[in-house]
Structure 1
Amino acid sequence: MAKRAEVTKTKRPVRRRLAGRWKLEDAKARFSEVVRHAREEGPQRVSVRGHDAVVVMSVEEFERLTPGKPRAPFVEFMESLHLGGLDLDREADRGRDVEL
């Protein structure tokens, strides 16, 4: 009886990475894993040609870092400028006389 050649799936070599750091090509290929790590472990850096380019982070981390302060309504903003001493009166300008 002839031996059957074993068919094995060749796995793509897994590149070692520093915790929280990804090369762009790896991050693209394993984006769901990058997102999972960002949610569970914290922000994940993605590098392009060896230089950090972007950070992937959870929405909770993003909101913590960018507190949304309410913007003042326009009238309150203008009143906060304290322009009371500024003379804003104009002379009545009726234009010039033009013959048609």
Structure 2
Amino acid sequence: MTVWPVQHAKARFSELLDACQREGPQVVSRRGAETAVLVPIEQWQRLQAAARPSLKQLLLTPEARAEGLAPPRGEARRRAVEEL
């Protein structure tokens, strides 16, 4: 990965974008510290899809249980019904 100082990245953004598409991720640094990465859209979409759990994974996790979604039996309050 090539490291671009922020001043060069701003001044030569088209070149930074071309390098990203041609060579892969490009790092942008500010005051010598790496602060951001420009990645090709295909790689970003793969990363996003990998980070998103499937429905099966969600349902199998301990946190995915239904406790707390409905009040316990007998503790639900009912509305008053108006007589006709």
TM-score higher than 0.5:
yes
Asked if 1:62 corresponds to 2:44, the answer is yes
Residue aligning to 1:81: 65
Contact 1:39 / 1:58 at 8 angstroms: preserved in 2? Answer: yes
Larger RCO (CA under 8 A, 6+ residues apart): 2
How far residue 27 of structure 1 moved from its aligned partner, in angstroms, is 0.3
Paired-residue identity, %: 32
**Structure 2: runs of 5+ lacking an equivalent:** 80-84
Report the count of equivalent residues: 68
CA RMSD of aligned residues (A): 3.0
Kindly indicate whether the alpha-carbon contact (under 8 Å) linking 1:45 and 1:53 is maintained by their aligned counterparts in 2.
Answer: yes
1:42 aligns with 2:24: yes
Matched AA of 1:38? C
Larger CA Rg, structure 1 vs 2: 1
Which structure: greater helix fraction? 2
Runs of 4+ in 1 over 3 A off after TM superposition: 68-72, 91-94
TM-score for the superposition, normalised by structure 1: 0.54
CA offsets 1:55-91 (integer angstroms, 9 cap, x no match): 011111101112164775xxx8xxx6154xx971217
Unaligned runs of 5+ in 1: 1-18, 95-100
